[in-house]
Amino acid sequence: MEIIKTPIADLLIIKPDVFFDERGYFSESYNKEKYFAQGICQNFLQDNMSKSSYGTLRGLHFQQGEYAQAKLVSAVVGKVWDIAVDLRPNSPTFGQWHGVELSDENHLQFLIPRGFAHGFSVLSETAIFTYKCDNLYNKQSEGGIIYNDETLNIDWKIPAEKMIISEKDKYHSKLKNKS
């Protein structure tokens, strides 16, 4: 497994070992011992999965306070553009974001620590997306940032007229209200 650092501290891309042969491939999607040996020491408690069609944009979401969550995310079918925004108050990269393409072809994972907002857009016809979370979801602690916040200026890699966005995600507040 290879750990790829991003320009934002603690935000990591993980390239697992994938073994191919004439039958297809095999890969460990998670092995606690191996991840802990690499310094990735989250105790994951909950797994989530979503299926979405092209143009779907989910985010930007986060959990606050004692319910904050670190996430290990990947696309097991299709291709997504995955985004993490640093919301850690004392971070030198507060308000900065990093994106990575996750797909069933590149097998990459994105480790998003606590203190980040997260979202993704679906670039393929369909995508199945998995999340490992180190804390349980709590509805009262959820928060969001509007996907088209001009201070973030995120390119979601899909045309605005093709975006499929939930009603809830259309009305999140801007980043400037989070500092």
- Mean pLDDT throughout 94-113? 97
Q: What is the tens place of the pLDDT at every residue in 56-87?
A: 999 999 999 999 999 999 999 999 999 999 99
pTM of the model: 0.94
* The pLDDT of residue 117: 97
CA distances from 162 to 11, 156, 169 (A): 29, 11, 15
| Residue 150 domain boundaries | 2-177
* The pLDDT of residue 64: 93
* Omega cis (within 30) before 60: yes
Give me the amino acid identity at 42: Q
Give pairs for 93-96: CB < 8 Å, separation 24+: 93/7, 93/8, 93/9, 94/179, 95/151, 95/152, 95/175, 95/179, 96/7, 96/8
- 3-state SS class at 169: helix
Q: What is the tens place of the pLDDT at every residue in 106-132?
A: 999 999 999 999 999 999 999 999 999
* The pLDDT of residue 83: 98
Edge-first strand listing for the sheet containing 126-133: 2-5, 12-15, 109-112, 71-77, 126-133, 46-53
Confidence of residue 179 (pLDDT cuts 50, 70, 90): low
Task: Indicate the number of domains in the chain.
Answer: 1
Q: Which residues have a catalytic role annotated?
A: 61, 131
CATH number of the CATH domain containing 18:
2.60.120.10
* The pLDDT of residue 177: 65
Tokens for 133, please give them: 């979370």
